[in-house]
Amino acid sequence: MQLNILLVENNTEKDVVTQLLPKEWQITCCENSYDAIQKVKKENDFHLVILDENSSPLNAYQTFDYLNKEIKADVPVLVLGQEGESTIVEHYKDKLAFIKKPIGIDDLSVIIELLEKNHCEKEVVEKAYSLDYLNEISDSNQEFIMETLSIFTSSVSDKLEQLKEALVNKDYQSVAEIAHNIKPSFEMLENKTSVEICNLLNNRAPEEDVPTLADNLIIEFAKMKAQLENDFPQLK
């Protein structure tokens, strides 16, 4: 089963959003809210609609209202904007979420949480982590596991901030060293994608490939962190 996302955005934000979302998600783009409504009417298989707050001819909240009341589409809506109608978002919090522009990697947790509330994420998105190894070495000691997960999220977050800085400075030696340093953390939680990326970065991938590999690693970690925080709210 594939996760289908309907994105209604201008060209600038569209590129940012499509790069942020996991590559296994199918993204359909359209330019206005009228087209979005027609697509939902016709296909009705979207797991999430992402709308610009000031979309037209109907804004995001009017579109959400129309989808729910007029065509009875049981689909959650994510609004991207500057202000956000807090009373509306709070009232429909199980079906509606708001992210302030510009959208970033840390916002992936909001998207996954919205999907999870609507029983989509668990069905269609493969887990980005496994606790099998931690359960094995700790005899399923929950206190040990929670402490380890807390250290994982904070330490890898710090290292990835250093990696971003190294990228800006084109310090690819430091990028390789950071990748080597955090690889065991990803191995511990059995995220093979991140381990493979770390191997490539550590083994001196061509310089032109390093920024893309680093971005993919950052996004993969964001997905792990979002899923961990959804599964273990005490990590937030």
Rounded average pLDDT over 15-21: 79
User: Are residues 217 and 180 both part of a single domain?
Assistant: yes
Same domain, 8 and 116: yes
The domain boundary, picked from 124, 156, 183, lies at: 124
Examine the pLDDT at 232 and tell me if it is beyond 80. Answer: yes
pLDDT of amino acid 132: 96
pTM of this prediction?
0.66
The string of pLDDT tens digits covering residues 92-125 is 777 888 998 888 877 887 888 788 777 554 444 5
- C-alpha distances in Å from residue 112, one per residue of 2, 131, 147, 155, 227: 15, 19, 23, 22, 7
Number of domains in the chain: 2
Q: How many CA atoms are closer than 13 Å to the CA of 84, on its beta-carbon side? A: 17
- Tell me the CATH number at 166: 1.20.120
Q: How confident is the model at residue 43 (pLDDT cuts 50, 70, 90)?
A: confident
Regarding whether 144 and 71 lie in a shared domain, the answer is: no
Residue 198 shares a structural domain with residue 157: yes
User: Which structural domain range is residue 19 located in?
Assistant: 4-124
- What is residue 120's predicted lDDT score, i.e. its pLDDT? 53
Residues 45-86 have pLDDT tens digits of: 899 999 988 889 999 999 999 998 999 988 899 999 887 777
3-state DSSP assignment of residue 151: helix
> Rounded to an integer, what distance in angstroms lies between the CA atom of residue 172 and that of residue 46?
40
Average pLDDT over the chain, rounded to an integer: 87
